[in-house]
Structure 1
Amino acid sequence: MHGYGDYGDFEGYQDLVDEVSALLGAPATLEDRDFRLIAFGAHDSDDAAVTDPVRTRSVLTRRSSAEVRAWFEGFGIARATGPLRVPADPRAGIHARVCLPVRHRGVVYGYVWLLEDDEPGRPPHEERALRAAMGVADRIGVLLAADTRAGADAGRALLDVLTDSKARREAARDTLRTALGRAADSELAVVCVTPWDSAESPDSEVLPGVRTLPGALALCAAPESGPPGGGAGRETPGRSGRTADGGAGGAAGPGGPGDGDGLVVLTRGRSAAAVAGRLVESARGADGRAGVSDPRHGLDGLPGAFREALTAARAARAQPRLGPVALWSGIGPYRLLAALPRGATDPAVLPLLEPAHAELAHTAEVFLDCAGGAGRAAAVLAVHRQTLYYRLSRIQALTGLDLADGEDRLLLHMALKAVRL
């Protein structure tokens, strides 16, 4: 048997998948409801009927494509309460399958898959064996439901550790430490993705697209504006999440002050950048950005790590060249600019920030980004150097600042960068 330790009782899942394989005489594959691999059975046969490109992709990449998912969901697997046979699609290289829905108390948590061969003379899986296998699938559903509930508790605890009062934070830290086990004393980092789409039903039991995120220890969603001392509000969690790497899951707030909801992830330090990249891929829309904190040892430094990750995410949104994932250590002046109150700017710069002068503001920023090099700035702006000089004279007239003076340049540059945040 083979599989991946993204769930708390990994050995239990492996044993149950092995039991299904033994009952039906075929290797079984267990995926969660987001079509992410949990466990699979190995096979020694050369018979092509026991595998196909879909199963191979799932085993190698731990997930299925959107097209494959749509194909199977089109046959009603999410509504099925018993074994469901799904026909082959030869054009897509999909073999016929039997799906055993993994449910608990009416909620689908995943699927057990078994390949069938449509060739004449090959009998389908026996109904009696399928009924016995469904009993095993029900036991898997109990485990997955329990993992989800445990994940919600740890996610709420993470949210409290990051955003609540000191007294509440200490109790939440104990809960989080219990959920994470030995990982609580390892090198940890915080990842923040903003914005995160929270438009799904508030009683949804998973955060979309991240239930089995490799490397994640805990997931929660919080208002984007940050923790106390850095401007964050706190909202009552409204739905639960799922953890990976043997950790706990998270809760999503229904929204709050600031620019919207942000998804916060606690990871092992070595996994943080990869986790951030996967989260940006999972975020709905093209404007998702992630920030990654410096690593910390243990749980005590998490509020500070949250501020770093949130600031890095804001910087990634403000400055596209930082990329969709920005490290706190790599955002340069934005580390200082983020400490300024939101909306604060110098009165001298205010006239330049009016919509009618957007082109001049852009010119000023490019000129200062180029360290005052007129030739380079003109090339970046794709204008004649005389046009640049004319614009710079207008900028000086509007602001009263002398662009030949180092401190005036610094003031203007800081103000324009702060506006981006």
Structure 2
Amino acid sequence: MKGDYQELVDEISALLAVPATLENRDFGLIAFAHDSGSEFDETTLDPVRTRSILTRKSTPAVRSWFEGFGIARATGPVRIPAAPDAGVFRDRICLPVRHRGIVLGYVWLLDASPGPTAAQLAAAMEVTARIGTLLADEERAGADLSREFRAALTAEHDWHYDMAVSALRTALGGAGTDALHAVVCVTPWTATEAPSSRSLPGAAALCTVSWGAGGGARAWQLGAGGSGGSRTVFLDADAGGAGAPGSGRTGRTGTPGGGAGRAGRPRSGGSEGSEGFVDPDDTGQALAVLVRLRSADALAPAVTAADRLRAMTGAGAATAGVAAPRRGLAGLNTAWLEATSAARAARAEPRLGPVAEWAVIGPYRMLTALPADTARDPAVRELLDRSHGELARTAEVFLDNAGQAGRTAAALGIHRQTLYYRLSRVERLTGLDLAEGEDRLLLHMALKAARL
């Protein structure tokens, strides 16, 4: 296959008498050619071109700069001027490689004066169409990895998980061995069908996953690589919750279920300015995506994919979570737990969403791993009744502001005396002393957990 690409790039280079390179849509180098009849000087290998050839990839900044010229939307040649400050010493011509309307890559030409004629460029575009067919065939051969991906996410035992990850790694080929990925969870997934990984830039695999369908507990045994046992994760927290006493739903090795439970959502209710805490809707499906990254410091491809997928659901309530980046697939189970936890946090706490990264959800990283009935601690059960929504919100804002009365009163738009009165009622309802650190911690955790 690589020889076919090289022959086609050589054909374009000879046709136009200019150097040419072929990159995939993620700016990974596939092939390059220097035409023997073209002028060659030190500017032919400017820093951007040199890096692309030597490292077989471009930096996120370079990619963003070129994409700013609309190459991902173009259907014909795009001329891009030199920018020495950006390391681009020569004008370029980009020939988008498309197949059935989807951009799969780019052919890059070094422009010159007078440059290729319109007829030459038209002939080169015909060659890019043949390249597009090859790229599409190659992607199609490994594009539908939903079965392998789903199997890895829903494996019930350690050995099932190990086998599923091995199958997914084989299906991904070199991309799954040591490549950098981030797992994304979008919920609820209400689109009629999952998109193709070909239509989602950067997606290596995706699949839909049952999420609380049917009202019964759906437990996942996510293996921990064979040595650390496994963990049971319950995707719907119905009455009693995962890990509730007598439910028989705690994970093996003493780890309670619930780490990837359904996303809860706050809902307005009660008196003005109050919030009630309610059980989540039975959403049915979540979408899991494995997104390729160029750098561990740049999660933009995963966030962009999450935004596009949320738009496809047509539901403003959809949220998404992005796991911490990982190299290879060894930690896929943990990454999925992180992604689902971040999606739950985004739904529970609007300021985190609608797309939340695991790294920034703060206390929800711990709270999403707790049993679902944690919010119903006896001390706070009455406070969490809908009739006390205003008091619950007051207590939460007070604790969010580290117990500073002035900031809390300003945030709530009330007088300090009103705040003190409400807090005294909270203490009477809960039996907790808000002057005690441990009592504050219990109340704060319970209020946050109730959102889940």
Q: Report the TM-score, using the length of structure 1 for normalisation.
A: 0.61
Q: What is the match of residue 418 of structure 1? A: 449
Post-superposition offset of 1:411 = 3.7
Q: What is the match of residue 303 of structure 2? A: 280
Q: What is the match of residue 223 of structure 1? A: 209
Q: What is the match of residue 61 of structure 1? A: 63
Post-superposition offset of 1:60 = 2.6
8 Å contact kept, 1:30–1:110? no
Q: What is the match of residue 286 of structure 2? A: 261
8 Å contact kept, 2:26–2:202? no
Post-superposition offset of 1:367 = 1.7
What one-letter code is carried by the residue in structure 2 that aligns with 1:25?
A
Residue 361 (structure 1) aligned with residue 392 (structure 2): yes
Alignment of 1:162-177 (within 5 A): 162-166=153-157, 168-177=160-169
Q: What is the match of residue 81 of structure 1? A: none
Question: Residue 273 and residue 383 in structure 1: after superposition, are their counterparts in 2 closer, same or farther (change >3 A)?
Answer: farther
Q: What is the match of residue 341 of structure 2? A: 311
For structure 2, which runs of at least 5 residues remain unmatched after alignment? 42-57, 81-90, 213-218, 221-231, 237-280
Alignment of 1:6-155 (within 5 A): 13=5, 16-26=8-18, 37=27, 39=29, 60-61=62-63, 65=67, 68=70, 72=74, 77=75, 102-103=98-99, 108=102, 110=104, 124-126=117-119, 134-135=126-127, 137-153=129-145, 155=146
Question: Residue 277 and residue 361 in structure 1: after superposition, are their counterparts in 2 closer, same or farther (change >3 A)?
Answer: farther
Post-superposition offset of 1:365 = 0.7
8 Å contact kept, 1:361–1:416? yes
Post-superposition offset of 1:417 = 0.5
8 Å contact kept, 1:191–1:267? no
Q: What is the match of residue 251 of structure 2? A: none
For structure 1, which runs of at least 5 residues remain unmatched after alignment? 1-8, 47-55, 78-83, 89-94, 212-217, 234-255
Question: Residue 317 and residue 21 in structure 1: after superposition, are their counterparts in 2 closer, same or farther (change >3 A)?
Answer: farther
What one-letter code is carried by the residue in structure 2 that aligns with 1:393?
S
Distance in 1 (CA, whole Å) between partners of 2:191 and 2:149 is: 22
Question: Residue 317 and residue 278 in structure 1: after superposition, are their counterparts in 2 closer, same or farther (change >3 A)?
Answer: farther
1:269-321 Cα distance to aligned partner (Å, 9 max, x none)? x94452x333213413597553324858x645432332133224433554466
Question: Residue 364 and residue 262 in structure 1: after superposition, are their counterparts in 2 closer, same or farther (change >3 A)?
Answer: farther
8 Å contact kept, 1:184–1:299? yes
Distance in 2 (CA, whole Å) between partners of 1:225 and 1:183 is: 28
Post-superposition offset of 1:416 = 1.0
Residue 156 (structure 1) aligned with residue 147 (structure 2): yes
Question: Residue 329 and residue 142 in structure 1: after superposition, are their counterparts in 2 closer, same or farther (change >3 A)?
Answer: same
8 Å contact kept, 2:206–2:290? yes
Distance in 1 (CA, whole Å) between partners of 2:61 and 2:447 is: 49
8 Å contact kept, 2:97–2:129? yes
8 Å contact kept, 1:315–1:326? no
Question: Residue 306 and residue 86 in structure 1: after superposition, are their counterparts in 2 closer, same or farther (change >3 A)?
Answer: closer
Aligned to 2:290, the other structure's residue is in SS state strand
Distance in 1 (CA, whole Å) between partners of 2:387 and 2:400 is: 22
Q: Report the TM-score, using the length of structure 2 for normalisation.
A: 0.58
Pairs aligned (count) = 357
1:353-402 Cα distance to aligned partner (Å, 9 max, x none)? 45564432221112223444434533544543212102213334555555
1:174-233 Cα distance to aligned partner (Å, 9 max, x none)? 22232455776659765334348773765645353435xxxxxx4324438597121249
Aligned to 1:145, the other structure's residue is in SS state helix
What one-letter code is carried by the residue in structure 2 that aligns with 1:265?
L
Distance in 2 (CA, whole Å) between partners of 1:30 and 1:294 is: 27
Distance in 1 (CA, whole Å) between partners of 2:234 and 2:122 is: 55
Post-superposition offset of 1:352 = 3.9
8 Å contact kept, 2:143–2:196? no
Q: What is the match of residue 251 of structure 1? A: none
Post-superposition offset of 1:418 = 0.8
Question: Residue 353 and residue 162 in structure 1: after superposition, are their counterparts in 2 closer, same or farther (change >3 A)?
Answer: same
Distance in 2 (CA, whole Å) between partners of 1:404 and 1:67 is: 59
What one-letter code is carried by the residue in structure 1 that aligns with 2:288?
L
Post-superposition offset of 1:413 = 1.8
Aligned to 1:331, the other structure's residue is in SS state coil
Post-superposition offset of 1:328 = 5.4
What one-letter code is carried by the residue in structure 2 that aligns with 1:420?
R
What one-letter code is carried by the residue in structure 1 that aligns with 2:143?
G
Match of 1:385 among 399, 402, 416: 416
Q: What is the match of residue 252 of structure 2? A: none
Question: Residue 26 and residue 409 in structure 1: after superposition, are their counterparts in 2 closer, same or farther (change >3 A)?
Answer: same
1:54-91 Cα distance to aligned partner (Å, 9 max, x none)? xx99993257658836974xxxx4xxxxxx68999xxx
More off after superposition, 158-167 vs 392-401: 392-401
Question: Residue 68 and residue 192 in structure 1: after superposition, are their counterparts in 2 closer, same or farther (change >3 A)?
Answer: closer
**Identity within the alignment, %:** 37
